[in-house]
Amino acid sequence: MKVLVLGGRGFIGRYAVASLRTLGHEVTIGTRKSKLESLEADVECLSVSLHKVTRCVDWCEIVKPFDAVINCVGILRPRLRETYNEIHHLAPFRIAKACALHHKRFVHVSALGLSDNAKSGFLRSKLDGERAIATTNADYSIVRPSILDGADGFGSRWIRRISNWPVQLVPACAAGNLAPLAVEDLGEALARLVEMRNEVRFREVELGGRDERTMATLLLALRSDQLTAPRQLSLPGWTTRIVSHLFDLLHVTPLSWAHVQLMRHDNRPEINLLPELLRREPRRVGKLVVSRAWVSAPARRPNLEITAGAD
């Protein structure tokens, strides 16, 4: 199959491209970057900026040469003309509509934990995008992964860095259980979904890793074995909220107001389709067992023991 990966140079997109190539598909990377040289000699690049292609007819011309499109594009914070509404809502709708008109497969990366009660533009726009895609007649899959781990991700690099601090700062509101998954597994799942044509059961796909952990236990699981026990300090809710708004304003660190809201609740799939798509158990994120000495000064007492998935 000929597959266009929008955002193919990004954190998720790079792994989707690699998995597609492993499965023998012909891949083109869609990127807004001015330099079109591909990271791989035999992978072509196509210059495309989602916020600049504002008509469905133009998207029809873009998707026409391909059998499938994967959309990995997302923004943590608005920048210039790239607004939440444009990138997360209108662009996916236009792409899905173009794919429907030309009978192309469309795989769209969204997020877990979206709701009508969200007070974040990031979360509301993601939900609006999902609903808009569902109104088209496209052969689509909406993919909702839990928190991602990988060596080259903006957010995951920060989490790994914090895990090795002598003092780990954990928001008190981070009460939800997570199902962290390796970005390599997400890339492979996206590549598999491209091949699942006209499968109604894969319209909405929730993905998570093999272990469920709170943010506090995830930090402990990612901590280097060479380090001594950390101390976890709980950040009050009001402090976390102020800091997240400040970071949003300054465009620094991955801690945003949207993530604060997501951490308040469980961020795990109700039905995890990742093992089925991978045809194997997902990779484990972090250590399976954490030393009891490391949980002597927890940020919050409940649920500090790591719950392991099946081996």
Mean pLDDT of 27-38: 76
Q: List the chain domain ranges.
A: 2-149+180-207
Inform me whether the pLDDT recorded for 186 exceeds 90: yes
Q: What is the dihedral of CA 2, 8, 11, 16, to 10 degrees?
A: 0
| Contact in structure between 184 and 129 (CB atoms under 8 Å) | no
Q: What is d(CA 153, CA 222) in angstroms, rounded to the nearest whole number?
A: 15
289 or 185, which is more confident: 185
From the number of C-beta atoms within 10 Å of its C-beta (0-12, 13-18, 19+), residue 303 rates as middle
Q: What are the structure tokens assigned to 13, written together?
A: 């997109």
pTM (predicted TM-score): 0.90
Per-residue model confidence as pLDDT tens digits over 218-231: 999 999 989 999 99
Architecture per CATH, 2-149+180-207: 3-Layer(aba) Sandwich (3.40)
Q: What is the residue-averaged pLDDT of the chain? A: 90
In sign, the C-alpha dihedral spanning 243, 247, 248, 249 is: positive
CA distances from 168 to 132, 143, 183, 258, 280 (A): 40, 31, 24, 21, 33
| Distance in Å from the first CA to the final CA of the chain | 34
Q: What is the pLDDT of residue 39?
A: 58
Per-residue model confidence as pLDDT tens digits over 133-155: 999 999 999 999 999 999 999 99
